[in-house]
């Protein structure tokens, strides 16, 4: 198995873990406000990572630390815009608009990084976005205040993927992940004190949810994302993350008893098809497969 395929499988694992976070976050947010939740999740996760990977942290230069803060600030903006925008739009619209990340990544990459993605990747991204519409969108679509804020969040999530792809090339990926995780937590802290009434939640259920979110959905997930994205492309990363709502639906079925409608099931299939199309090099298959068959027949 190639290093790129290993990276894609690891990122698929991240998408699965993040899919479970929808159910876990829903339970946690019943006990605390949004930025209170983000501060607890990311600060505690950053602290655990600093303890476990202190040797990696010692390798950070001022330049690498600055890059980590930049990535973390982008990630904070993405989470903040998404959470605030959700107050003014429906969850289904929010999920569909965030799905535009898979289209925004190659477009932003083409403009900023001057790396035009392959036509198959663009086609797969478009198909996956249609799938996300089937999976998440209910009713009509029109842009209002909440929709625009969520669209800005999708832009920030796309920018987060791209900046990771650039900055992890010259830094320790684990240390960089710890810095960005901690940055989200630190930036969430003043927001929750200014706009919310922060609390330390009590109860076994909420802390079980928080523990899984802190360790697996934040610490492990972002370290894997930062490390493995060195070996794949931002567009491919965005495509893999379109599986997140599919996993979310699966965990919702297993843990909450929710079922997929035929429309949502069709959306899941479209997402999977888009991923396959983006991964396969159809031009090589079409042009060279006949010649390979001839060569084999002569031997």
DSSP string, the chain: --HHHHHHHHHHHHHHHHHHHHHHHHHHTTTS-HHHHHHHHHHHHHHHHHHHTHHHHTT--HHHHHHHHHHHHHHHHHHHHHHHHTTSS-HHHHHHHHTTHHHHHHHHIIIII--PPPHHHHHHHHHHHHHHHHHH--S-----HHHHHHHHHHHHHHHHHHHHHHHGGGS-HHHHHHHHHHHHHHHHHHHHHHHS------SHHHHHHHHHIIIIIIIIHHHHHHHHGGGS-HHHHHHHGGGHHHHHHHHIIIII-----HHHHHHHHHHHHHHHHHHS-HHHHHHHHHHHHHHHHH-
Q: Tell me: the pLDDT tens digits for 191-241?
A: 999 999 999 998 888 999 999 999 998 888 888 887 787 788 777 777 787
Mean predicted confidence (pLDDT) in 160-176: 82
Entry pTM? 0.77
Give the tens place of pLDDT for each residue, 53-98.
888 899 889 999 999 999 999 999 998 888 777 777 766 667 777 7
């Amino acid at each position: 198995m190639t290093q790129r395929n290993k990276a894609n499988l690891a990122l698929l694992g991240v998408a699965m873990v993040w899919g479970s976070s929808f159910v876990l976050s829903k339970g946690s947010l019943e006990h605390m406000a949004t930025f209170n939740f983000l501060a607890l999740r990311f600060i505690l996760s950053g602290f655990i990572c600093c303890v476990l990977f202190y040797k990696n942290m010692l390798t950070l230069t001022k330049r690498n630390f600055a890059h980590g803060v930049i990535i973390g600030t982008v990630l904070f903006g993405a989470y903040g815009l998404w959470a605030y925008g959700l107050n003014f739009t429906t969850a289904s619209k929010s999920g569909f608009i965030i799905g535009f990340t898979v289209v925004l990544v190659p477009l932003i990459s083409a403009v900023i990084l001057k790396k035009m993605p392959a036509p198959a990747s663009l086609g797969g991204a478009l198909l996956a976005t249609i799938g996300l519409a089937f999976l998440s969108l209910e009713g009509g679509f029109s842009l209002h205040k909440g929709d625009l804020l969520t669209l800005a969040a999708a832009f920030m999530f796309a920018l987060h993927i791209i900046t990771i792809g650039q900055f992890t090339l010259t830094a320790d990926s684990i240390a960089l992940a710890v810095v960005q995780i901690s940055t989200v937590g630190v930036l969430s802290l003043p927001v929750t004190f200014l706009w919310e009434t922060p609390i330390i939640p009590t109860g076994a259920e909420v802390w079980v949810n928080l523990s899984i979110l802190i360790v697996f959905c934040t610490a492990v997930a972002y370290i894997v994302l930062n490390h493995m994205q060195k070996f794949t492309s931002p567009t491919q990363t965005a495509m893999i993350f379109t599986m997140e709502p599919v996993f979310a639906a699966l965990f919702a079925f297993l843990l909450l008893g929710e079922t997929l409608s035929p429309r949502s099931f069709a959306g899941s299939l479209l997402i999977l098809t888009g991923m396959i199309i983006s991964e396969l090099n159809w031009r090589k298959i079409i042009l060279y497969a006949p010649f390979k068959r001839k060569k084999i027949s002569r031997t």
